[in-house]
Amino acid sequence: MALHPRVMGPHSLQVRCRRRAARLLPLAAAMVLSGCAAVLNAATSGEGYGVVSDIRYGTGERGTYDLYIPATVTETTPLVVFLYGGSWESGDKETYLFVGQSLASDGIIVAIPDYRLYPEVRFPGFVEDAAEATARIMTTVRGGAYGMPGGPHPVFLMGHSAGAQIAGLLATNGDWLSGEGQSPSDLTGFIGLAGPYDFLPLSEERYKSIFPQETRTASQPVNFVDGDEPPMLLIAGADDTTVKPQNTRSLAARVRAQGGEATDIIYPGVDHIGAITSFATALPLADETIRDRTLLFIRERSHQEPAQ
C-alpha cells in the first residue's frame, strides 16, 4: 500500500483494502489498516484544526496522547476520546491522524491516546491505561489548556475494534473511571465501531494469552450493563468477518433491556476496516453515512450546531 493517493483512486483503494483484509487473520488485517491509513493520512487536510502531540498522561513509552483542537473552541465544544483497535497487540496514535482530522475539522476536540499492548501487558493492563488517559484528558480539557477555554465540555468515548471493547468497558463498568477520580456519569455518550463486547468463549490461543482465564468474565462489556450507561451509538458492518456483528446487537439489546439507550446500526457492504476508514474525508473508503451518523449523535447529545 505504498502508492501515492493520487495514483490509486478511492474505489480501487477501497476494493484492495477490503479484499486483502478479508483474506487475513485479525492481526494481519490490522496491518492492512495501517497501510491504508498511511495513504489516508498523506491525503488528509491540515486545515481547520491544530495538533498538540505527545502529551503525557502516564509513564512509559506509550503513556502519551495527541490532541486535535478545532479552529474554534468554546466552553461547551464536545470532546471525543478515541481508542484505536489492533487486536490488543498493535496500533499507535499516529496511524489515526485521519480520524482526528475527520472530527476536529467538524468542530470537535479529539484526543487519541496510546496504551500498552500485549505482550507487555495482558488484560486488564490496556484498560487501566485507557481509564487513566481518559480521566487525565477530561481534567485537562475541562480545566482549560493549550489555548482552549475550560468548561463543561461534553465527553464521548469512541473506539474501533479492540478499542471499542476497551471504551465499552469504561462506559459500562463504572469502577474504571471512578478509580481515576472521574465520575462515569460525566460521559455524554459512547460510540462503538465494530466492537467485540460479548466474545466468549475464546478459540484462538493468542487471545487466551491476552485474556487469562480468571479475568475473562470481567473483559465483557455486556456483563456490566445495568441501565445507567451513557447513550450508545453502536455501528458494525454486515460484511465484518473479524468481529461478528452479533457483538453489536448483543450489547445494544442488553442496554435496552435494562432501560438504557442504545442505537445499533449494521451497515450492508461494510467490513471490519470499513467501519473506521469511513471517517476519512480525503479518500472515503466505505459508507460515508457512518461518519455523518456519528457526527449527528455527538451534536444531538451535546446540543452543538454543525461547524460552518
Q: What is the pLDDT of residues 26-58, one digit of tens each?
A: 544 554 567 677 888 888 889 999 999 999 999
Residue 286: the pLDDT is 66
Residue 10: the pLDDT is 35
Q: What is the pLDDT of residues 172-230, one digit of tens each?
A: 999 999 999 998 889 999 999 999 999 999 999 999 999 999 999 999 999 999 999 99
Residue 307: the pLDDT is 64
Structural domain includes residue 2: no
What is the CA angle 286-267-285, rounded to 5? 5
**How far is the C-alpha of 113 from the C-alpha of 133, rounded, in Å?**
7
DSSP assignments along 262-297, one per residue: EEEEEETT--TTHHHHTT-SSS--S-THHHHHHHHH
Structural domain includes residue 127: yes
Residue 66: the pLDDT is 98
Structural domain includes residue 195: yes
Structural domain includes residue 295: yes
Q: What is the pLDDT of residues 69-122, one digit of tens each?
A: 999 999 999 999 999 999 999 999 999 999 999 999 999 999 999 999 999 999
Contact 268, 252 (CB under 8 A): no
Contact 118, 210 (CB under 8 A): yes
Residue 171: the pLDDT is 98
What is the CA angle 249-113-119, rounded to 5? 80
Residue 303: the pLDDT is 86
Q: What is the pLDDT of residues 262-291, one digit of tens each?
A: 999 999 999 999 999 999 998 766 678 999
Q: What is the mean pLDDT of the chain?
A: 89
Pairing of strands 109-113, 155-160: unpaired
On whether the pTM is more than 0.95, the answer is no
What are the start-end ranges of the E strands in the chain? 49-56, 64-70, 79-83, 109-113, 155-160, 187-193, 232-237, 262-267
Expressed as residue numbers, the domain containing 32 is 10-302
Structural domain includes residue 94: yes
Contact 78, 156 (CB under 8 A): yes
Q: Helix, strand, coil: what percent of the chain each, to 5?
A: 40, 15, 45
Contact 16, 10 (CB under 8 A): no
Q: What's the rounded mean pLDDT across residues 130-156?
A: 98
pLDDT tops 60 at residue 9? no
- Distance from CA of residue 245 to its chain's centroid? 16
Residue 211: the pLDDT is 98
Residue 70: the pLDDT is 98
Tally of domains in the chain: 1
Structural domain includes residue 307: no
Q: What's the rounded mean pLDDT across residues 156-167?
A: 98
3-state secondary structure of 30: helix
Residue 308: the pLDDT is 58
Structural domain includes residue 268: yes
Banded model confidence at residue 15, pLDDT cuts 50, 70, 90: very low
Structural domain includes residue 280: yes
Share of the chain above pLDDT 90, in %: 80
Residue 38: the pLDDT is 80
pLDDT tops 90 at residue 13? no
Residue 225: the pLDDT is 98
Q: What's the rounded mean pLDDT across residues 127-151?
A: 98
Tell me the torsion sign for CA atoms 116, 107, 101, 87: positive
Q: What's the rounded mean pLDDT across residues 233-260?
A: 98
User: For the domain that residue 16 is a member of, what is the CATH number?
Assistant: 3.40.50.1820
Share of the chain above pLDDT 70, in %: 87
pLDDT tops 60 at residue 293? yes
